[in-house]
Amino acid sequence: MLQRTSRRTFLRTAAAGAAGVAAASFIAPEAGIAQVRSPDSLPTNRPSERFRPTGRFGLGGVALGNAFTPAMEDELLGAVETAWNEGVRYFDTSPWYGLGLSERRLGVFLQSRPRDEFVISTKVGRLLTPDASLGKRHVGIWQDAPAFDFRYDYTAEGTRRSIEESLQRLGLAQIDIVFIHDLSPDNSDLGEQWLDYFETARQGAMVELTRMREEGLIKAWGMGVNEIEPARRALEVSDPDIILQAAQYSLIKHEDALETLFPLAEAAGASIVVGTPLMIGFLAGRHRYLWDGTIPAGAIEKRARLSRIAQDHGTDLLTVSLQFGNAPEVVSAVIPGARTAQQVRQNAAAMRADVPAELWQALKRERLIAEHAPTPG
């Protein structure tokens, strides 16, 4: 097993190689590769002191890990290619998504794309180990997962190893953003011990990722969690650049994030990536709410009211949901997932659509969104 010093050398060499690849692709782009679309197609970020993805609209990689149902690989890669052709240049993945499937599939697509034209984020916190006795199986929401076992590791050494293994699965020489994944009380594997794991990460993963950012091996790091408390703690005890906050900022639920997380992030100069802006399809009309499928009381009725107002103003709930998630200044990206090319096209069209100001006023008047919630325009 490589020691920490050799891992640091490996990653530094990889980063230098990435710079060379990026320079080469800038000088002579590969023939036939789609080029970056004009900036009037999708929203972009202004320059900032801390790293942010250039584009504010990205693609989440959960579906690439066979979430909920298996999918044909050609269909999934077609969705990623459609995202690229629509102008998407930010892609998020994780070793946990399909126990390596999401990273491997995304890496296949990105091999032929110029490295300086896209941003990629992945995650640390779980290490995968092959185990032939497991066979292909269901693990949580992952269907037909490959024969890998996993264990949690938020140490400095585990963090380096996780990134090294992600680079291998992705076939890339550098990762832009690294999120510390699922270090949260809602993770049933950790349960009441999550604070012990958090302390390990505070002394291990957070220190190591800060060092890697200073060395130029990554551009930014943060937390990738479903609850606000771990993100809040990380902003208080360390120096994250960007928080991937899932399940906390949507038309259905957003007040807690507005009141607690967003001000802390703004004060630290950090930004927020909004994960699950459609609540795993619920705000796109599916009878599914987040990962366990339990729909909270009143959510269906609220969705119906939101949809009616959207239709009254000549638009739809999907469009309103994605644009609402993108509106706050502290948000640097919204990353809905997609399984098919059609879903990608619908999401991209929603981000480009014009939504009348009267719609947002109606939602506030009906108390369907918070009075102080930022809205487009």
Interhelix angle 73-85/101-110, nearest 10 degrees: 50
% of the chain with per-residue pLDDT over 90: 85
The answer as to whether 63 is a domain residue is yes
Alpha carbon of residue 107 to chain centroid: 16
- In DSSP terms, 335 is beta-bridged to 275
Q: Residue 359 corresponds to which amino acid?
A: L
Closest CA to 56 of 224, 242, 313: 242
pLDDT tens-digit series, residues 59-77: 999 999 999 988 889 999 9
d(C-alpha 255, C-alpha 328), whole Å: 13
SS (H, E, C) the chain: CCCHHHHHHHHHHHHHHHHHHHHHHHHCCCCCCCCCCCCCCCCECCCCCCCCCCECECEECCHHHCECCCCCHHHHHHHHHHHHHCCCCEEECCCCCCCCHHHHHHHHHHCCCCHHHCEEEEEECEEEEECCCCCCEEECCEEEECCEEEEECCCHHHHHHHHHHHHHHHCCCCCCEEEEECCCCCCCCCHHHHHHHHHHHHHCHHHHHHHHHHHCCCCEEEEEECCHHHHHHHHHHCCCCEEEEECCCCCCCCHHHHHHHHHHHHHHCCEEEEECCCCCCHHHCCCCCCCCCCCCCCHHHHHHHHHHHHHHCCCCHHHHHHHHHHCCCCEEEEECECCCHHHHHHHHHHHHCCCCHHHHHHHHHCCCCCCCCCCCC
Is the residue at 5 inside a domain? no
- Confirm whether 280 is domain-assigned: yes
Which residues contact residue 180 at a Cβ distance below 8 angstroms, ignoring those fewer than 6 apart?
123, 124, 125, 154, 201, 205, 206, 209, 221, 222, 223, 224, 234
Residue 212 maps to a domain: yes
Per-residue model confidence (pLDDT) at position 293: 77
Contact 243, 231 (CB under 8 A): yes
The pLDDT of 170-185, averaged and rounded, is 97
Task: Say if 268 falls within a structural domain.
Answer: yes
- Look at the chain and report how many structural domains it folds into: 1
Would you place residue 181 in the very low, low, confident or very high pLDDT band (cuts 50, 70, 90)? very high
Q: From CA 364, how far away is CA 83, in angstroms rounded?
A: 32
Q: Check which CATH number belongs to the domain holding 125 and give it.
A: 3.20.20.100
Cα-based angle 334, 326, 287 (whole degrees, multiple of 5): 65
* pLDDT at site 182: 98
CA dist 258 → 74, 193, 330, 334, 366 (Å): 39, 27, 10, 16, 19
One of 90, 97, 249, 289 is an active-site residue; which one? 97
pLDDT of residue 8: 60
Q: Is residue 189 part of a domain?
A: yes
Closest CA to 208 of 102, 103, 97, 125: 125
Range(s) of the domain holding residue 126: 51-365
Q: Give me the mean pLDDT over the 209-214 stretch.
A: 98
- The reply to whether 374 falls in a domain is no
Judge whether 377 lies within some domain.
Answer: no
Q: Is the pTM here over 0.85, yes or no?
A: yes
90 given a catalytic annotation: no
**Model confidence pLDDT, tens digit, residues 360-371:** 999 999 999 999
Distance CA 179, CA 122 (A): 6
User: Rounded CA gap, 65 and 122, in Å?
Assistant: 13
What is the band of 12 on the pLDDT scale with cuts at 50, 70, 90? Answer: low
Q: What is the pLDDT of residue 337?
A: 95
* 25 pLDDT higher than 50: no
